[in-house]
Amino acid sequence: MDRTRWGLVALIFLAGLLAAAQFGKIALTLPETAAAFGRPLPQIAPLVSLVGLMGLALGAMAGGVTAGLGPGRTFLGGLLLGGAMSLIQAFMPGYWWFVASRAVEGFAHLALVVAGPALMAAAADDRDRPVVMGLWALFFGASLAISAVIFPAILAVGGLPLLFALHGAALLALAVPLWPMVPRIPRTRVSLNPVATHRAIYARMRTVAPGLGFVCYTFLFVALIAILPPGLDRPGLAASLPIFTLVTTLLGGALCRRFVPWKVAASGFVGTALGLMAEMAGVPGALPFAFAAMGLIPGASFAAIPALNADPGDRARATGAIAQLGNLGTVSGTPVLAAIWAAFGIEAVIWTGVAAALLGLGLGSWAGRRAAGTVDGDVVDVR
């Protein structure tokens, strides 16, 4: 591509924000949702993780389907299906119908987050592609931050029905300008054989490598934000720590213009481990440093997808691996660290974080070297 299509990049990123809002619209309104259905909060909380569990179970399959149908068709399908589910939810159907709509919404979410990075990569030229992928890596955290600001005003005006209706309308409205803009590559055979689909992804280091470090990042990120503020009796950390990560996520992609992605991710894991160890030593500002370093990892992980995979189908498969492994980390991180906190105290949580960061360093570096093939630090084969 001669020039980056920044208009298309912006629209895809906006769709990514709405995809992340499929989590946020329940996670940030749990009390209101519980009241609407007349159920206790613990019974409503699984509505948040249901979308993530779909990603964990079907992330690799979504990558295979996207590779066959093409990211353009998959992305548009995700917009239409996600918009329809939100509009159905706006009518506040019975609880179990609402649960079913969230399960279907999980398919729409997967379509968006698996096809989105492939479309972003295709819309950028070679120089801008690492920055564009770093921008995509911002979508989840940025969406939650924006949602936390605007949701209270929407709820005050029209409650949950208005919130769900606006979300659905925005997804459908985005499909209109994107319909003629997103590329349609020729369809190939779509395999629904889960064994063959997983083998096509996990048997090739170039498609699995971006996700191997990413799983350690997702294991840590949400869990540490949830546990460290109460565990350290510093509640203000819950609002401030994600901001440090957002600031450096885009930087992680930009650095991949100069350095191979696995090295940028490795520096993020090293900084995370050092920051957490410094927190144990009582060094001021250690946690902000750790989370700022952590922000390099997602930007570099998404930049690794096009750096290691030139074919759009392989990029979709690699994104499917990131979706599946990322959800594995997100789903498992908070329960595991919460159990460690309850059994051994907050210090054990921090040391577990150090161990997870070092594991991410080892996995990401090993996979990056094997996937790219390096000679004196220069990538010699990224086809």
- The model's pTM: 0.79
378 DSSP assignment: E
pLDDT tens string, the chain, 383 residues long: the values are 568 888 999 999 999 999 989 988 987 887 888 899 998 877 787 787 777 777 777 766 766 777 777 788 889 999 999 999 999 999 999 999 999 999 999 889 988 988 888 888 888 887 888 888 888 888 887 887 888 889 989 999 999 999 999 999 999 999 999 998 887 766 666 666 677 777 777 778 888 888 898 999 989 987 888 788 888 888 778 778 888 888 898 888 888 888 888 899 999 999 999 999 999 999 999 999 999 999 999 989 988 888 888 887 788 788 888 888 888 888 888 788 889 998 999 999 999 999 999 999 999 999 888 887 633 343 333 33
Q: What distance, in Å, lies between the first and last C-alpha atoms of the chain?
A: 16
Separation between Cα atoms, residue 119 and residue 41, nearest integer Å? 38
What interhelical angle do 296-308 and 286-294 show, nearest 10?
10
Domains by residue range for the chain, with CATH: 1-183 (1.20.1250.20), 193-372 (1.20.1250.20)
Tell me if residue 365 falls in helix, strand or coil: helix
- Among candidate residues 204, 209, 203, the one with its CA nearest the CA of residue 302: 209
Tell me if residue 256 falls in helix, strand or coil: coil
